[in-house]
Every structure is written in structure tokens, then in C-alpha cells.
Chains A and B, each alone.
Chain A
Amino acid sequence: MMFDIIMPEIDGLELCKKVRSRAEYKKVPIVFLTAKSREQDKLKGLEAGANLFLSKPISPEKLLSIISKTIG
């Protein structure tokens, strides 16, 4: 799963926590792809249960390589 963070109503962090709270989604790979890039944002993302935190902009090549490593 790939989530943006800055979204109205339920943001990506909240979404990630909600997804992770479900037993069947404990291990599904979750990647944040967001305009946020501060260290503290990254930390929050990982604390919410994500496997990876990527900041936009990102090159398509880099994104694909990371996705294939994370998701398979």
C-alpha cells in the first residue's frame, strides 16, 4: 500500500494506524510517499507502522526499485 500523508479528514498517518490495527494487515507493506521530508515526519510515519517513508519528488526509477524491493 502506498499512502500520501497530507489529506483532508483522515490523513495518511491515521490511515496507516487504522490499517495496522486490523489483524490481516499487520504485515502488508506500507510505504508513505509524501511532500513531507523532515526527520520528525519520517519518525511519525514509521511509528504509525509504515515500512518505508519516501519524500516527493522521487525519480520513477528510484521509486520502482524501492517498491520492488519492499513489495516484491
Chain B
Amino acid sequence: MGKRILIVDDDEMVRMALVELLKLEGYILDVAASGKEALVKIEENSMT
């Protein structure tokens, strides 16, 4: 299974570009559009 990466950026274009790029390399991506959203995701499920 690929490694998970959480991408946090408020720019949707940047998020999409990073997701597309890293998906091709086999990583499993999570995204958050703000620090707040990232903290919620981290709280909900282990990102380690």
C-alpha cells in the first residue's frame, strides 16, 4: 500500500496539481483547504 500524504493548501489549483502528481506515483492523498480542516482530519484518523 502506498504512503499517505496530507496536503494542506488554501489554493485549490495547488491542491489539485499536487494530488494529480503524487497519485501517479502511488501515494494515497488526503487534502485540506485550511489548517482547521487539517486538524480535524488529523483528529479523526491517524495520519502516521
Instruction: Write out, one digit per residue, whether chain B residues 8-48 have a CB within 8 A of any chain A CB (1) or not (0).
Output: 11110010001001100101000000111011001000111
> In the complex, how many residues of chain A place their beta carbon closer than 8 angstroms to a beta carbon of chain B?
28
Q: Are A9 and B36 in contact (CB under 8 A)?
A: yes
> In the complex, how many residues of chain B place their beta carbon closer than 8 angstroms to a beta carbon of chain A?
23
CB-based nearest B residue for A18: B39
Count CB-based A-B contacts (< 8 Å): 73
Expressed in whole angstroms, the minimum distance between the Cβ of B7 and any Cβ of chain A is 5
Q: How far is the CA of A60 from the CA of B22 in the complex (A)?
A: 9
Q: Are A25 and B47 in contact (CB under 8 A)?
A: yes
Q: Does A52 contact B (CB under 8 A)?
A: no
Q: Does A68 contact B (CB under 8 A)?
A: yes
Q: Are B48 and A24 in contact (CB under 8 A)?
A: yes
Within 8 A of B (CB), among A1-47: 1-4, 6-12, 14-15, 18-19, 22, 24-25, 28, 33
- Residues in B lying within 8 Å of A, measured CB to CB: 3, 5-11, 14, 18, 21-22, 25, 27, 34-36, 38-39, 42, 46-48
Closest 7 CB pairs of A and B: A10-B35, A4-B9, A15-B35, A7-B10, A1-B6, A3-B8, A2-B7
